[in-house]
Amino acid sequence: MNSAVLLAAALSARGMVLAAPPPAAAPSATPSASPTPAATPAAAEDAASPAPAAAEWTSELPRPTRRMNVDDAVQRIWYGAPQPRFRPTTAGEKEHLHALLTALTHALREDGTDATIDPAWEVLAHKAGFSLEAWTVDGESYWAMVEEEGDRRGAGAYILRVSPLEEKGPQILLEAPHVYYDLGTENLGASLFFSPPAGTRAPRALFTNTVHRYQNSPDPESRTPNNPADICHNADHLFTAATVDFAEAFASTATIELHGFADNDPEAKSGLKAGTSIVVSGGVAAGATPFSRRVADGLRGLDKGVRLFPEEAKALGATTNVQGMALRALKGALFVHVETSASMRHELNLDGEKRTAFGRALLDAAVKEGS
């Protein structure tokens, strides 16, 4: 099934439409119009005569900064090209993205006001299979690690805010790991990341997926057991490694994952009380965490349907979420998983005031005392 059909199937199955439909996806989604780029003439030549000196990659200097608004960023991150076929992460990708994230977080620590890209970082990005780009979105500076054109494989996208590090409290990592399936989480995540509510701590990073979680299934709703493209259940994916890298780069972090469930989701129906609109979980079956409790309490003013897992909700608790598992093994790394119903996501994406209140609750809970 091609990506347009897949996306359309997911759209109708989830009973929801995107607030901002993906114009770039439609014209580019011809099923077999995206051959794998492995057989470029240069690659073929390298394979035929492996002269070591010819293989070194050098960046062109300097690359211009992309100037965008939030809608442009949504297009660039998620809808700029047809969905690629998923390819597993390699050890080299992890190693080089780790080195790159280490260099970038070090640079933020030294001087968070200079977004100039060091050529050495571009080389690291290339070795990890990424392009490192300087963006300004609505006037704010970011470093974006996006898959290289011609080497898209579902390895994710990783965007860092370039601003001086706050002296105290956690660095916030916002994650939208099921875009294309948890519909609307891209708009919600992008809005919260690029336009955080005034007076809140702006998230330091946005990490996200770049292929549909069930892309290897003939039916995107079938939830077949083996889904390596599902980054929340593939511990070996670069996304998990990058999440851990981020948490290890700072003494204190708070990771907030944005998810969505369908109003008619069978799991949700059996495990949730009627009227549930948001399920907040720390990913632990034994009980809420102080952080998940703060998030849920902060959201209660928004809607009567807010439930805390496992005390008030018996489903959608993210107990098998691999980012949660990895972060729980680290010191000073908070994690919360926030599931919003399709109708709640729709409201949040249409209603700016409600979205601001939602964002404020999440971000303020991250910087309050406690773990």
Identity of the residue, 178 or 346, whose beta carbon is nearer to Zn ion in the bound complex = 178
Phi/psi at 225 (nearest 5 deg)?
Answer: -70, -30
Identity of the residue, 325 or 367, whose beta carbon is nearer to Zn ion in the bound complex = 325
Is residue 345 within 8 A of residue 183, CB to CB? The reply is yes
Nearest to 120 by CA among 166, 58, 78: 58
Nearest distance from residue 177's CB to Zn ion, in Å?
Answer: 7
Other beta carbons within 10 angstroms of residue 106's beta carbon come to: 10
Interaction mask 269-308, Zn ion, x per CB under 5 A = ----------------------------------------
Q: Please tell me whether residue 259 binds Zn ion under the rule CB under 5 A.
A: yes
Nearest distance from residue 147's CB to Zn ion, in Å?
Answer: 21
Q: Which stretch binds Zn ion (CB under 5 A): 193-201, 240-248, 254-262, 359-367?
A: 254-262
Nearest distance from residue 219's CB to Zn ion, in Å?
Answer: 17
Number of residues lying near Zn ion (CB under 5 A): 3
Helices (H), 199-351: 238-249, 266-271, 290-299, 322-328, 342-350
Interaction mask 166-185, Zn ion, x per CB under 5 A = ------------x---x---
Residues 158, 24: Cα–Cα separation, whole Å? 21
Identity of the residue, 121 or 214, whose beta carbon is nearer to Zn ion in the bound complex = 214
The β-bridge relationship of strands 333-341 and 253-261 is parallel
Q: What is the DSSP string of 78-140?
A: HSSSPPPPP-PPPHHHHHHHHHHHHHHHHHHHH-TT--PPPHHHHHHHHHTTEEEEEEEETTE
Q: Which stretch binds Zn ion (CB under 5 A): 47-55, 88-96, 118-126, 255-263?
A: 255-263
Cis peptide before 27 (omega within 30 of 0): no
Identity of the residue, 179 or 363, whose beta carbon is nearer to Zn ion in the bound complex = 179
Q: Find where tokens 């292929």 sit.
A: 211
Is residue 78 within 8 A of residue 208, CB to CB? The reply is yes
Q: Please tell me whether residue 152 binds Zn ion under the rule CB under 5 A.
A: no
Identity of the residue, 204 or 345, whose beta carbon is nearer to Zn ion in the bound complex = 345
Nearest distance from residue 301's CB to Zn ion, in Å?
Answer: 24
Q: What is the DSSP string of 308-331?
A: ETTTT-SS---TT-HHHHHHHTST
Identity of the residue, 122 or 182, whose beta carbon is nearer to Zn ion in the bound complex = 182
Identity of the residue, 107 or 231, whose beta carbon is nearer to Zn ion in the bound complex = 231
Q: Which stretch binds Zn ion (CB under 5 A): 158-166, 252-260, 270-278, 295-303?
A: 252-260
Identity of the residue, 176 or 361, whose beta carbon is nearer to Zn ion in the bound complex = 176
Nearest distance from residue 281's CB to Zn ion, in Å?
Answer: 12
Nearest distance from residue 140's CB to Zn ion, in Å?
Answer: 27
Q: What is the DSSP string of 8-73?
A: HHHHHHTT---SS--TTHHHH--TTS---GGG-HHHHHHHHS--GGGG-----SPPPPEEE-HHHH
Nearest distance from residue 259's CB to Zn ion, in Å?
Answer: 3
Identity of the residue, 339 or 347, whose beta carbon is nearer to Zn ion in the bound complex = 339
Nearest distance from residue 92's CB to Zn ion, in Å?
Answer: 28
Is residue 21 within 8 A of residue 183, CB to CB? The reply is no
Q: Please tell me whether residue 153 binds Zn ion under the rule CB under 5 A.
A: no
Nearest distance from residue 104's CB to Zn ion, in Å?
Answer: 27
Other beta carbons within 10 angstroms of residue 267's beta carbon come to: 13
Residues that bind Zn ion (CB under 5 A): 178, 182, 259
